[in-house]
Chains A and B, each alone.
Chain A
């Protein structure tokens, strides 16, 4: 089985699943759901298999590469590969999709709902695995379509507006990226002598300083919208709030990561000079995102919007760490991408469960849930603490690494960003207090306890939260080689660690 094209299968299995589900009869919703879950579980299993086959250590280059030519005339190929940066994002995708399918209910038209989710999975997998600029662009665009229909077809009241806003924003971003990709490729053609969209080959080309900066911006806009980096974030609260539960889970869990992943893989990879040049800008935007997201989250009346704005803040941390250019901070960023996917995904699932039971997400309508549903409250607390970044849980490891690593190269930004950690405690704990504490009124008295099925869906996420918090080493061991390679590639002057400097002075 050594030659089995496992990465290709990761993309094709969910795509085939979407096709199979689309061709099934809609008269048997149970069978449709079973098929959908089946295909996503197989994909999840494949992603775990990838995790097993991944070689720890090494020089951080791509593994399990699968390369074929697709459009020869234009130098476009089917080139997939995985390294430490994408490895856990792929695993996260593999785990989160079956959970989202199982943990939420479409309420109507389950067949297209399941088919769209599987197509989304194929798109997301493809985006994380592509090493060909064009292939990446194709998957990056494909992702938009199912999400548009998921929000618009199965969301809440203002779903149509939210869906269109989401689509137009992200598509505008990627339109600039398309121009950027083509320009990059045709400028590189002059140096490389042949036309190619292959990322590995394109990295050998170097661009004139001003050209590189323009191209960097063309790529960065697409990714900044996706992350979203302040001030491109305004689509996110609407999309998250109006999306059905599975949509929010996947949007926050994996789709936002396409943005930060894209920055690391493509913007950093292709234009190191411009990345260094724009560093202060992105550090500042990251910090603004942290503070702005936190402050706005505090003010929200809708529980789902609180979680949505908390995403803006968390993604701000990830951007901050990425642009710190130290091994520690970038590793922290990559780890935090996974952490955010897990804990925010779980938070959205829990909020979805509350909304299923109470048909409202207004904080003022919810009260005293802790006394009627203690286990539910306990699970919510654990996930919330992970999102706040309490030591012993996963969020802490990522945030701590980001702050420490960033402190070395961007001291004042870190000082301001650290305030975000406190604000996170403020808005989440305050929301928790209002929803779970106190005596339940009439409407909330009948709030039912966590069901076994719901518990089973949440269990893997809770496991990851605790495991990563206690023992992050296995993950970091796999992330670090690729991150170190990237940091070397960006070539930002590395500070001596304070301890080493002190020892050197003696």
Chain B
């Protein structure tokens, strides 16, 4: 048996696949930058390590250039490797989000690492590798490619979460993230093997052609369920969310920002790829599942966040709850509001990235002075750091969905998607979401209250000095949050035309 298999492999002639270098340029540039960072780290003296962050930052921006050229090149879709890797408008958009979010994370990390005396070269190497994995995920249209991208982005992230290795909490963060992440990967792989077994192909499009509502084998149903559960871990959807609060609290703050924004977005991108390409006719299976998950994710995340006294932990639960909002449109994907749902998710991811990264930038800036992560440490922030106070308020208001900040566009899109589905499920989900957006204000409001209405702890009103890289991150995120809210057209003109 084995010998015949081997024999047939030998006989089949190997033809090298046609490679579209333009389409792969972002990944290639990024790979080059990763190697450059690794090599430069070997030859740089300790005092000159700051160069690494500059290389990483500019490298990410350089990788953005081919994205722009690809976008204006006019080709709707470039398919490679037998349909396993596709560069289309959708993938370009999410790649752009990943690269820009990555750039902001580099800005956040710069002073944090220099002052904390951490291993800079390895840090940026791992960070960039993880981003490369995410960029690949945007184009993955094959079970194997998806899995490779997922591991590519996850494994560096496990190590980054445990980066403060002398801190027990950070160790716990990394270990917990690693163990649960691997467990999720295993469940997902099992699901993928079932799907492959049932349909005989790993190409998502091929799977999509075989899976039809009503005529699915139990094996395929189980496969879909397992694959979705695997990614539910990644996006920390309830009930697979328990790793998130501990990991977020223990990891270095820039990495927490990275995990809660980019890594989560990558999980959603994978879910979109699977649901839109492989299971478009499997709505009977995934719609109820994701609907229930979305409702419970936003509710539980919110309720837990209300009780937190540590800011990062509160934001961990907030990010879980925001994940529920992003899942909401996916619950109606496959129906008549499929296109709206895709627009909604991608818009949400972009807005959420700008807002949440900005909020983490404020947290990093404030904790430089207070050395504390408690909510009460933000008391009277506005009185001694007015700009940070106003920016933090803007980010919180955006997360709460208050116009004219970006958050409302995101929430609006999500509501639009579920309501246009015209099903009772959709309306019910919209009402759950509406009630949740009010509950969420309970804790976003409590942070605002600290900033504006509470006294400064210990009367220490010394101003906060923010390094220029952090300032740049704050300005980018603040500007993007406001711009996306006032002129939503800048993201909608892209997210409205994408198709899968």
Contacts and interface: CB of A to CB of B under 8 A. Distances in A.
A145 B393 CA distance: 10
Interface string A131-173: 0000001100110110011001100000110011001100110
Contact of A171 (B412, B441, B452, B493): B441
Given A152-B452, A167-B441, A179-B434, A71 B403 contact: no
Contact of B403 (A141, A152, A163): A141
Nearest to A22: B390
Contacts of B415: 178-179, 182
Interface in A77-126: 109, 112
A217 to B, nearest CB: 12
A141 B422 CA distance: 26
A16 interface: no
B425 interface: no
A138 B427 CA distance: 21
A168 B449 contact: no
Contacts of B382: 112
A73 interface: yes
B441 A160 contact: no
A74 B416 contact: yes
B200 interface: no
B438 A168 contact: yes
A207 interface: no
Contacts of B442: 164, 168
Nearest to A149: B452
Contact of B438 (A142, A149, A163, A171): A171
B179 to A, nearest CB: 38
Nearest to A159: B453
Interface string B380-393: 00110000001000
A142 B419 contact: no
A302 B402 CA distance: 34
A22 B386 CA distance: 10
Contact of A73 (B403, B404, B489): B489
A47 B422 CA distance: 42
B492 interface: yes
A72 B448 CA distance: 33
Interface residues of B, number: 33
A467 interface: no
Contacts of A112: 382, 452
Nearest to A214: B427
A163 B382 CA distance: 18
B438 A71 contact: no
A183 interface: yes
B419 A182 contact: yes
A482 to B, nearest CB: 28
Interface string B463-500: 00000000000000000000000001100110010000
A159 B420 CA distance: 41
Nearest to B486: A70
B438 A73 contact: no
Contact of B416 (A138, A145, A152, A186): A186
Interface of B: 382-383, 390, 397, 402-404, 408, 412, 415-416, 419-420, 422, 427, 430-431, 434-435, 437-438, 441-442, 445, 448-449, 452-453, 488-489, 492-493, 496
Interface of A: 22, 71-74, 109, 112, 137-138, 141-142, 144-145, 148-149, 152-153, 159-160, 163-164, 167-168, 171-172, 175-176, 178-179, 182-183, 186
In the A-B complex, the 4 residue pairs with the smallest Cβ-Cβ separation, listed nearest first, are A175-B434, A138-B403, A172-B438, A152-B453
25 contacts: A73-B489, A73-B493, A74-B416, A74-B492, A138-B404, A141-B408, A142-B403, A142-B404, A148-B448, A152-B452, A152-B453, A160-B453, A164-B445, A164-B449, A167-B441, A175-B434, A176-B434, A179-B427, A182-B415, A182-B430, A183-B419, A183-B430, A186-B416, A186-B420, A186-B422
